[in-house]
Protein backbone atom coordinates (compact mmCIF):
# COMPACT_ATOMS: atom_id res chain seq x y z
CA UNK A 1 0.00 0.00 0.00
CA UNK A 2 1.19 3.52 -0.82
CA UNK A 3 2.52 5.32 2.25
CA UNK A 4 0.49 8.31 3.46
CA UNK A 5 1.54 11.93 2.98
CA UNK A 6 1.85 13.82 6.24
CA UNK A 7 0.57 17.28 7.07
CA UNK A 8 1.30 18.86 10.44
CA UNK A 9 -1.40 21.02 12.06
CA UNK A 10 -0.77 23.33 14.98
CA UNK A 11 -3.82 24.44 16.98
CA UNK A 12 -3.59 27.78 18.82
CA UNK A 13 -6.03 30.00 20.69
CA UNK A 14 -6.75 31.32 24.17
CA UNK A 15 -7.07 29.02 27.18
CA UNK A 16 -10.41 27.25 27.42
CA UNK A 17 -11.63 27.87 23.86
CA UNK A 18 -11.78 24.11 23.24
CA UNK A 19 -8.55 23.28 21.34
CA UNK A 20 -7.97 19.99 23.14
CA UNK A 21 -11.64 19.01 22.83
CA UNK A 22 -11.54 19.69 19.07
CA UNK A 23 -8.35 17.64 18.68
CA UNK A 24 -9.75 14.74 20.75
CA UNK A 25 -13.10 14.81 19.00
CA UNK A 26 -11.34 14.66 15.64
CA UNK A 27 -8.77 11.98 16.51
CA UNK A 28 -10.53 9.78 19.06
CA UNK A 29 -14.23 10.74 19.13
CA UNK A 30 -14.20 11.76 22.76
CA UNK A 31 -15.39 14.87 24.57
CA UNK A 32 -14.39 16.03 28.01
CA UNK A 33 -16.70 18.29 30.04
CA UNK A 34 -13.97 19.41 32.45
CA UNK A 35 -11.31 21.90 31.37
CA UNK A 36 -8.13 19.86 31.56
CA UNK A 37 -5.53 22.60 31.07
CA UNK A 38 -2.92 21.62 28.48
CA UNK A 39 0.66 21.89 29.69
CA UNK A 40 2.94 22.82 26.78
CA UNK A 41 1.89 20.73 23.78
CA UNK A 42 -0.01 17.49 23.17
CA UNK A 43 0.23 15.33 20.05
CA UNK A 44 -2.10 13.05 18.15
CA UNK A 45 -2.67 11.76 14.63
CA UNK A 46 -5.46 10.71 12.29
CA UNK A 47 -5.35 9.51 8.71
CA UNK A 48 -7.93 10.85 6.25
CA UNK A 49 -8.51 10.58 2.50
CA UNK A 50 -8.20 13.56 0.21
CA UNK A 51 -8.72 13.05 -3.51
CA UNK A 52 -8.37 9.27 -2.90
CA UNK A 53 -4.93 9.77 -1.33
CA UNK A 54 -4.14 8.83 2.26
CA UNK A 55 -3.07 11.86 4.28
CA UNK A 56 -1.79 11.48 7.82
CA UNK A 57 -2.50 14.54 9.95
CA UNK A 58 -0.04 15.10 12.82
CA UNK A 59 -1.76 17.43 15.23
CA UNK A 60 0.02 19.62 17.80
CA UNK A 61 -2.47 20.92 20.36
CA UNK A 62 -0.83 23.85 22.16
CA UNK A 63 -1.53 25.34 25.58
CA UNK A 64 -3.52 28.58 25.42
CA UNK A 65 -2.05 30.08 28.56
CA UNK A 66 0.37 32.91 27.71
CA UNK A 67 3.00 31.43 30.05
CA UNK A 68 3.59 28.68 27.49
CA UNK A 69 4.16 30.98 24.49
CA UNK A 70 7.98 30.44 24.48
CA UNK A 71 7.33 26.69 24.10
CA UNK A 72 4.32 26.78 21.77
CA UNK A 73 6.06 29.24 19.39
CA UNK A 74 8.40 26.40 18.40
CA UNK A 75 5.50 24.57 16.75
CA UNK A 76 4.60 27.11 14.08
CA UNK A 77 7.52 26.74 11.69
CA UNK A 78 6.99 23.09 10.67
CA UNK A 79 3.21 23.32 10.36
CA UNK A 80 1.42 23.01 7.02
CA UNK A 81 -1.68 24.40 8.76
CA UNK A 82 -2.23 26.63 11.75
CA UNK A 83 -5.72 26.56 13.23
CA UNK A 84 -6.71 29.66 15.20
CA UNK A 85 -9.55 28.91 17.61
CA UNK A 86 -11.86 31.28 19.49
CA UNK A 87 -14.90 30.65 21.67
CA UNK A 88 -18.08 32.22 20.19
CA UNK A 89 -19.38 32.90 23.73
CA UNK A 90 -16.27 34.85 24.84
CA UNK A 91 -15.68 38.07 22.89
CA UNK A 92 -12.12 38.54 24.19
CA UNK A 93 -10.99 35.25 22.64
CA UNK A 94 -12.08 36.55 19.22
CA UNK A 95 -10.48 39.96 19.81
CA UNK A 96 -7.19 38.18 20.53
CA UNK A 97 -7.23 36.36 17.16
CA UNK A 98 -5.65 39.35 15.35
CA UNK A 99 -2.56 39.08 17.57
CA UNK A 100 -2.41 35.29 17.16
CA UNK A 101 -2.75 35.67 13.40
CA UNK A 102 0.13 38.13 13.31
CA UNK A 103 2.26 35.71 15.33
CA UNK A 104 1.29 32.85 13.04
CA UNK A 105 2.22 34.80 9.91
CA UNK A 106 5.52 35.84 11.41
CA UNK A 107 6.59 32.38 12.59
CA UNK A 108 5.12 30.04 10.00
CA UNK A 109 6.49 28.81 6.69
CA UNK A 110 5.64 30.23 3.26
CA UNK A 111 2.48 28.70 1.81
CA UNK A 112 1.04 27.77 5.22
CA UNK A 113 -2.74 27.31 5.36
CA UNK A 114 -4.41 29.34 8.09
CA UNK A 115 -7.82 28.40 9.42
CA UNK A 116 -10.17 30.19 11.81
CA UNK A 117 -12.54 28.18 13.98
CA UNK A 118 -15.33 29.66 16.10
CA UNK A 119 -15.90 26.85 18.60
CA UNK A 120 -18.81 26.04 20.98
CA UNK A 121 -21.51 26.82 18.41
CA UNK A 122 -23.84 24.53 20.41
CA UNK A 123 -23.98 27.47 22.87
CA UNK A 124 -25.40 29.91 20.32
CA UNK A 125 -27.88 31.28 22.92
CA UNK A 126 -24.79 32.68 24.72
CA UNK A 127 -23.16 33.94 21.55
CA UNK A 128 -20.89 37.03 21.81
CA UNK A 129 -19.47 36.88 18.27
CA UNK A 130 -21.80 36.60 15.29
CA UNK A 131 -21.23 34.08 12.52
CA UNK A 132 -20.98 36.92 9.98
CA UNK A 133 -18.26 38.67 11.98
CA UNK A 134 -16.13 35.52 12.10
CA UNK A 135 -16.70 34.87 8.40
CA UNK A 136 -15.86 38.47 7.43
CA UNK A 137 -12.63 38.39 9.45
CA UNK A 138 -11.66 35.11 7.78
CA UNK A 139 -12.48 36.44 4.31
CA UNK A 140 -10.44 39.59 4.88
CA UNK A 141 -7.39 37.58 5.92
CA UNK A 142 -7.84 34.63 3.52
CA UNK A 143 -8.49 32.04 6.23
CA UNK A 144 -10.49 28.82 6.02
CA UNK A 145 -13.50 29.47 8.28
CA UNK A 146 -15.91 27.30 10.16
CA UNK A 147 -17.98 27.37 13.32
CA UNK A 148 -17.76 24.08 15.19
CA UNK A 149 -18.91 22.29 18.29
CA UNK A 150 -16.42 19.88 19.83
CA UNK A 151 -19.33 18.80 22.05
CA UNK A 152 -21.88 17.81 19.38
CA UNK A 153 -19.14 17.11 16.72
CA UNK A 154 -20.75 19.67 14.38
CA UNK A 155 -18.30 20.64 11.60
CA UNK A 156 -15.27 19.21 13.45
CA UNK A 157 -14.28 16.69 10.75
CA UNK A 158 -15.30 19.17 8.07
CA UNK A 159 -12.96 21.87 9.39
CA UNK A 160 -9.88 19.61 9.57
CA UNK A 161 -10.65 18.05 6.17
CA UNK A 162 -11.35 21.38 4.45
CA UNK A 163 -7.94 22.62 5.60
CA UNK A 164 -6.30 19.39 4.35
CA UNK A 165 -7.93 19.85 0.96
CA UNK A 166 -6.55 23.37 0.73
CA UNK A 167 -3.04 22.16 1.69
CA UNK A 168 -3.28 19.32 -0.80
CA UNK A 169 -4.19 21.73 -3.62
CA UNK A 170 -1.24 23.98 -2.72
CA UNK A 171 1.12 21.00 -2.86
CA UNK A 172 -0.35 19.96 -6.23
CA UNK A 173 0.15 23.38 -7.82
CA UNK A 174 3.57 23.85 -6.24
CA UNK A 175 2.65 26.76 -3.93
CA UNK A 176 3.62 24.67 -0.93
CA UNK A 177 6.67 22.49 -0.84
CA UNK A 178 6.85 20.00 2.01
CA UNK A 179 10.56 19.15 2.10
CA UNK A 180 12.13 16.25 3.97
CA UNK A 181 12.83 18.43 6.99
CA UNK A 182 9.14 19.04 7.54
CA UNK A 183 8.31 15.35 7.02
CA UNK A 184 10.99 14.54 9.58
CA UNK A 185 9.42 16.96 12.03
CA UNK A 186 6.01 15.35 11.44
CA UNK A 187 7.48 11.89 12.20
CA UNK A 188 9.03 13.21 15.36
CA UNK A 189 5.70 14.66 16.44
CA UNK A 190 4.20 11.21 16.05
CA UNK A 191 6.99 9.50 18.00
CA UNK A 192 6.66 12.11 20.72
CA UNK A 193 2.96 11.22 20.91
CA UNK A 194 3.81 7.52 21.22
CA UNK A 195 6.48 8.20 23.80
CA UNK A 196 3.88 10.09 25.79
CA UNK A 197 1.72 6.95 25.86
CA UNK A 198 4.66 4.78 26.96
CA UNK A 199 5.65 7.09 29.76
CA UNK A 200 2.00 7.66 30.73
CA UNK A 201 1.35 9.68 33.87
CA UNK A 202 3.87 12.13 35.15
CA UNK A 203 5.60 12.62 31.80
CA UNK A 204 4.79 16.29 31.37
CA UNK A 205 6.52 17.88 34.37
CA UNK A 206 9.70 15.92 33.66
CA UNK A 207 9.50 16.69 29.99
CA UNK A 208 9.26 20.40 30.57
CA UNK A 209 11.97 20.33 33.20
CA UNK A 210 14.21 18.77 30.55
CA UNK A 211 12.96 21.21 27.97
CA UNK A 212 13.84 24.26 30.03
CA UNK A 213 17.36 22.93 30.67
CA UNK A 214 17.94 22.29 27.00
CA UNK A 215 16.20 25.33 25.59
CA UNK A 216 19.29 27.53 25.31
CA UNK A 217 21.25 24.83 23.53
CA UNK A 218 18.30 24.09 21.30
CA UNK A 219 17.82 27.74 20.33
CA UNK A 220 21.54 28.29 19.86
CA UNK A 221 21.70 25.43 17.39
CA UNK A 222 18.45 26.52 15.69
CA UNK A 223 17.31 22.94 15.69
CA UNK A 224 13.69 23.41 16.56
CA UNK A 225 12.75 20.30 14.59
CA UNK A 226 15.19 18.26 16.65
CA UNK A 227 14.31 19.87 19.96
CA UNK A 228 11.51 17.41 20.56
CA UNK A 229 13.53 14.15 20.38
CA UNK A 230 16.37 15.75 22.34
CA UNK A 231 13.87 16.50 25.11
CA UNK A 232 12.48 13.02 24.94
CA UNK A 233 15.91 11.43 25.22
CA UNK A 234 16.65 13.70 28.17
CA UNK A 235 13.33 12.77 29.73
CA UNK A 236 13.97 9.07 29.17
CA UNK A 237 17.43 9.25 30.76
CA UNK A 238 15.97 11.11 33.67
CA UNK A 239 13.37 8.34 34.16
CA UNK A 240 15.99 5.59 33.76
CA UNK A 241 18.02 7.30 36.47
CA UNK A 242 14.99 7.24 38.76
CA UNK A 243 14.31 3.54 38.07
CA UNK A 244 17.87 2.43 38.93
Ligand X SMILES: Nc1nc2c(ncn2[C@@H]2O[C@H](COP(=O)(O)OP(=O)(O)OP(=O)(O)O)[C@@H](O)[C@H]2O)c(=O)[nH]1
Binding site for Mg ion (CB under 5 A): 19-20, 38
d(CA 195, CA 53) in angstroms, rounded, equals 28
Residue 122 binding: pick among Mg ion, ligand X, none (C-beta 5-8 Å cut-off by kind): ligand X
Closest contact distance (angstroms) between CB of 11 and Mg ion is 9
Q: Measure the CA–CA gap between 49 and 204, rounded to whole angstroms.
A: 32
In contact, 60 and 19? CB cutoff 8 Å:
no
| Binder of residue 6, out of Mg ion, ligand X, none (CB less than 5 to 8 A by kind) | none
Q: Where do contacts with ligand X occur on this chain (CB under 6 A)? A: 13, 15-21, 32-38, 63-65, 119-120, 122-123, 149-151
121 or 178: CB nearest ligand X: 121
Residue 44 contact among Mg ion, ligand X, none, beta carbon within 5 to 8 Å by kind: none
Residue pair 28/80 in contact (Cβ under 8 Å)? The answer is no
Report how far residue 106's alpha carbon sits from residue 224's, in angstroms, rounded to the nearest whole number: 16
Find the shortest distance in angstroms from Cβ 33 to ligand X: 5
Q: Which residues pair with 49 in a beta bridge?
A: 54
* H/E element, 185: helix 180-199
Spatial neighbors of 185 by CB under 8 A, at least 6 apart, are: 8, 78, 225, 228
Of 65 and 166, CB closest to ligand X? 65
**Which residue, 19 or 120, has its beta carbon nearer to Mg ion?**
19
Q: Which is nearer to ligand X, 45 or 72 (CB)?
A: 72
Amino acid sequence: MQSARRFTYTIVGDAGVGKTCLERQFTSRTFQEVHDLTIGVEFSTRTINVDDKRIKLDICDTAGHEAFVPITKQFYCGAACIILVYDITRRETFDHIAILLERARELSRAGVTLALIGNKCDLSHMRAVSYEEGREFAKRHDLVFMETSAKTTQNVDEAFILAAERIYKKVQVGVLDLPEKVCLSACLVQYAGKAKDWLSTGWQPTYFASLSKLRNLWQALELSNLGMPICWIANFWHKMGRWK
